[in-house]
Amino acid sequence: MRYELLVFDWDGTLIDSAGAVVFCIQAACRDLGLPVPDEARASHVIGLGLRDALSYAIPSLPPADYGRVAECYRKHFLARDPDIALFPGVEAMLTALRERGHILAVATGKSRAGLGRALENTGLRPLFAASRCADECAPKPAPDMLRELMEEFGVEERRTLMIGDTVHDLRMAASAGVPAVGVSYGAHPRSDLAALDPLACVDDIAELTRWLAQNA
């Protein structure tokens, strides 16, 4: 076993939610009469904390209005949350990794409440030993989530692996001194991920499962 601690992003990496996130960002903007970001701009903010996400998606939005946009977004997302599915093969992949002896964790831009709902909806809670959310510590791409998880389990950087679908995941890993794998089936284009030189960039869960079985 090369990597003891495997840390997964959530949205766009384990669950097929990137499209729903983009839709809900755009819907919230329409509801409130704000400029509606295009798909590329809305996709880029997936994985970021609330403040960073809104300052990029809606540059003209005053910080005092972040709360009302977040509440409107949450309304739209909650209506879709129970129906958002895991990518096919995710549960089997995670179960095999857990049985092999890896410690599995989540580092996400979701809130603690949002991740809690997602873990319950998908039934994956028992597979993860720990998680960090954007409302608990400095959000991506700051290294804090990974550093806290490594400290919690006493695992050093070279024995930790980050898996994610955004440049925010890969930059967080680089800042923490942790190797990373990019997945191109989520929010960010393969070219953007590859430019950050991850160990690998995979195109679907089947390829990720094979790569982890052979290299993790």
11 included as an active-site residue: yes
* CB-based contact 162:173 (threshold 8 Å): yes
Strand partners, 160: 5
Q: Is 204 a catalytic residue?
A: no
Q: Token pair for residue 53?
A: 């996400």
- Cα angle 193, 22, 42; round to 5: 60
The CA distance from 171 to 196, in Å, is: 8
Q: Which of 11, 52, 165, 169 is catalytic?
A: 11
Phi-psi region of 182 (alpha: psi -120 to 50; beta: other; left: phi over 0): beta
Q: What is residue 166's predicted lDDT score, i.e. its pLDDT?
A: 95
Edge-to-edge, what's the strand order for the sheet holding 180-183?
A: 130-132, 103-107, 5-8, 160-164, 180-183, 200-202
Q: Walk along the chain (216 residues) and give the pLDDT tens digit of each residue.
A: 899 999 999 999 999 988 898 999 999 999 999 999 999 999 888 888 878 888 899 999 999 999 999 999 989 988 988 889 999 999 999 999 999 999 999 999 999 999 999 999 999 999 999 999 999 999 999 999 999 999 999 999 999 999 999 999 999 999 999 999 999 999 899 999 999 999 999 999 999 999 999 999
**Considering 9, 52, 165, 169, which one is annotated as catalytic?**
9
